[in-house]
Structure 1
Amino acid sequence: MPNYRDDVDAVLRALADPTRRAVVERLAKSPAVVSELAAPFDMALPSLMQHLRVLENAGLVASEKHGRVRTVSLKPGALDVLHLWLDEQRTPAERQADRLGIHLIRTAPKED
C-alpha cells in the first residue's frame, strides 16, 4: 500500500470546511477569478484568500495572476488521492459484488 497519508490528511483537512468545499464545487465547473469566487460568500476578500491558500497547499487548486486578476482552477486529478484512499476502505464483499456485476454484464446475452 503506498504511503500517501499526508496527502490524504491535507485533502480531508482542506475539504472539512464548507466554504472550501463550495469553492471546489464551483471550480469543478470551470476556472474563476477570485472576485467571482468571493461573490457568494459573506466574507472579506482576505478571508477567502486564506481559504484558497489552504486549498492550494493541499494540492487541490492552482492560481495564476495576469496583471491584477488572479484566476483559480481545480488541479486535474487533485482528488485522485482521496478516491484511492476511499477505494481501499471498501470491504472485500463490496469488491466481490463489483466483480460479479462486471462479470454478469460481460457474459449477458446480447440483445438483437
Structure 2
Amino acid sequence: MGDVFKALSDPTRRIILDELTDRDGQSLFEICSRLAMRHGRTSTRQAISQHLTVLEEADLVRSRREGRTKIHHLNTEPLRSIVDRWPLPRLEE
C-alpha cells in the first residue's frame, strides 16, 4: 500500500490518473499531448514515462503492447483496498 501513497503524492501522476479516468487506454504520446494541451504540463516524454513506471509499480496503471506502442490503462483495485481499510463513516441525516 505504501507504493500507492507514493504514487499518489505527485501532482503530475494524479493528473495522469485523471486523464486515464477520462479516456482509458492511451499511449505515452497521447498522455503527453493531453498533459500539454489540457494542463499546460510540458514534461518530457522520458519524465512522463518515469511517472508511468511509478504508477505501474503501485499497480495503479497496467500496460500492454500493441505492436511497438505501449497502451496504458487505469487500475482502481489498489484504491479499493484503501477504502476497505478505512471506510468512510456514514453520515446521519
3-state SS of 1:28 partner: helix
Taking the TM superposition and a 5 Å limit, the aligned residue runs for 1:61-80 are: 61-80=61-80
Structure 1 residue 69: Cα displacement:
1.3
Q: Distance in 2 between matches of 1:86 and 1:79?
A: 11
Normalising by structure 2, report the TM-score. 0.79
Q: Deviations over 1:28-61 (max 9, x none)?
A: 1222111111112311111111000000000101
CA distance in 2, matches of 1:100, 1:48: 43
Point out where structure 1 has 5 or more consecutive residues left out of the alignment. 1-6, 102-112
Post-superposition offset of 1:77: 2.1
Once residues 75 and 16 of structure 2 are traced to their aligned partners in structure 1, the CA distance between those partners, rounded to angstroms, is: 13
State the partner residue of 1:32: 26
Aligned to 1:21: 14
How far apart are the structure 1 equivalents of 2:68 and 2:32? 16
- AA paired with 2:44? A
5+ residue gaps, structure 2: 36-40
Number of positions where the alignment pairs a residue of Structure 1 with one of Structure 2: 86
Opposite residue 73 of structure 1, the aligned amino acid is: H
Q: Distance in 2 between matches of 1:74 and 1:17?
A: 16
State the identity as a percent. Answer: 28
CA distance in 2, matches of 1:76, 1:85: 15
What SS does the corresponding residue of 2:72 show, helix, strand or coil? strand
The CA RMSD measured in Å over matched residues stands at: 1.9
Q: Which has the higher contact order (CA 8 A, sep 6+)?
A: 2
How far apart are 1:82 and its partner, in Å?
Answer: 2.0
Rg larger in structure: 1
| 4+ residue segments displaced more than 4 Å | none
